[in-house]
Amino acid sequence: MKSMTALGILLAVLGIFVLVYQGFNYTHREKVLDVGPIHATRDDTERVPIPPILGGLALLGGVTLLVMGAKQKA
């Protein structure tokens, strides 16, 4: 019973996070020039989008697990 409630809270928080941010960014460094002691690099920022429907489904699943966990306690 307790694990169902904890999983429900985790899914609900994750769903809210995805709905608010809708993706995440990351930066990777690429070597452009490497001639002797001279080094040149470039930082590229990439965005990984997460569809809002996934956030909504996670939120709905979390709420469902919370309700089911509350019904089992009663």
Residue 73 pLDDT > 80: no
Instruction: Report the candidate in 23, 19, 22 with the shortest Cα–Cα distance to residue 62.
Output: 19
| Spatial distance between the Cα atoms of 67 and 38, rounded to a whole number of angstroms | 62
| Spatial distance between the Cα atoms of 58 and 51, rounded to a whole number of angstroms | 12
pLDDT at 11: 93
| Spatial distance between the Cα atoms of 71 and 61, rounded to a whole number of angstroms | 15
Prediction pTM value: 0.71
Name the token pair of 33: 């020039």
Digit-coded pLDDT (tens) for 9-47: 999 999 999 999 988 999 999 999 889 889 999 999 999
Phi and psi (nearest 5°) for 63? -65, -40
